Structure 1
């Protein structure tokens, strides 16, 4: 069952058929592929379809959705663990799906432990109200669900051509009220003494120190053959991590990291929209929000999905309430 599920999710194909009765000529992709698989693998044939217990066929739509949810969960968990305690940026866009439901797409941008700039799809959330407050509440709920802290947010990116520009500007303001470091500093009422001491003197001292350290790092890198041919900041960051110079110059690397996480364009968010049109089509226009989100997570983050073993997915699946029996280890077999 899991191998069939993995194949359909990876290809962005539908699971259900219009007529899934046993005498139907086309019972849908999931049942038809499972039938095809069992005919070519005798061990699988012994435990599925007519050879499975009548009340434990494990082929119901609920089981299909639970398997998909388990796949999406493991992918999202991998993303959250990859971010760790690092800072990140938030990229958001909104559009209607084929069933005219408002969907908010959320992508995170961060620098991973290898110094690589990564953009990952976190979730798509249905919002019945597109006001800035409702969008903010949806993001708060999403962050709580995945254990993300708004305090580590360092940038915000929104589609500037969207007809939601006003709402997005309001959303940005609401986030800045909680975290002034999420793209700009919050204006404060301060005294002249505080201004010249903190805003001028301390900043000048910090700038001088940072410039000295940065010059030392630059000179160090110029004589290092590992840094020859570096043409952009992203490649520079990766080399710094590879050569462990990020440990020798942590503050400088932190500045580079903060620069790299700032969103420049929202192309990744636009790609989510293209994927949504593949997953939720005219013929699948009644699919639920959670079902669509889980399918999108797997379809978009295929590179992560390919690294996740069946064992991980099945362990989470077994904990779900709807699971009444344990899947056989035959489920670990891959389609060849």
Structure 2
């Protein structure tokens, strides 16, 4: 409410008195229950939008994806790692079976306990805002060498959004290149076209003379 009030004052927007009755725009509907401004903006506006956002998340992500996002949020370094959740982070490691063996998973919870105690007692980690900040600070303080498995898990979390975006970009490019006209092209030609399309900014900088030199080599 303080942020909204501050925004309205800066932009000269009229701020309604929350205890006053809410006036419905347009014609008054007989029998409609009257509520105050606080109830209208909190229940009929704010919570409605929160419900719609949650419903959109439900529609977009399956249970496994939501579980992954919840586990990732437990790494948040804000407020001296107030969101840090040791039981959830080993669950995050189970999404990467090729990087964490059964033995690693058994020891990870103990390592996470040591890690969070270490960073909470170090004032250099108190004002971090993001996972990226945490990663850089670990390298800067050499603590990534002490907490190897925790740092590996953090790197995997940071790579995930980039990898997801890269895959989506590749699929989008595939749909554009392999249209009805070019649907019969072979895999080799398709791969060549895909690489040049995705990296077109780089290829546009290469001159004809440079291409001729490359092919001669």
In the superposition, the TM-score normalised over structure 1's length comes to: 0.27
Larger RCO, structure (CA 8 Å, separation 6 or more): 1
Q: Give the structure with the larger strand fraction.
A: 1
Q: Give the structure with the larger helix fraction.
A: 2
- Of structures 1 and 2, the larger Rg is shown by 2
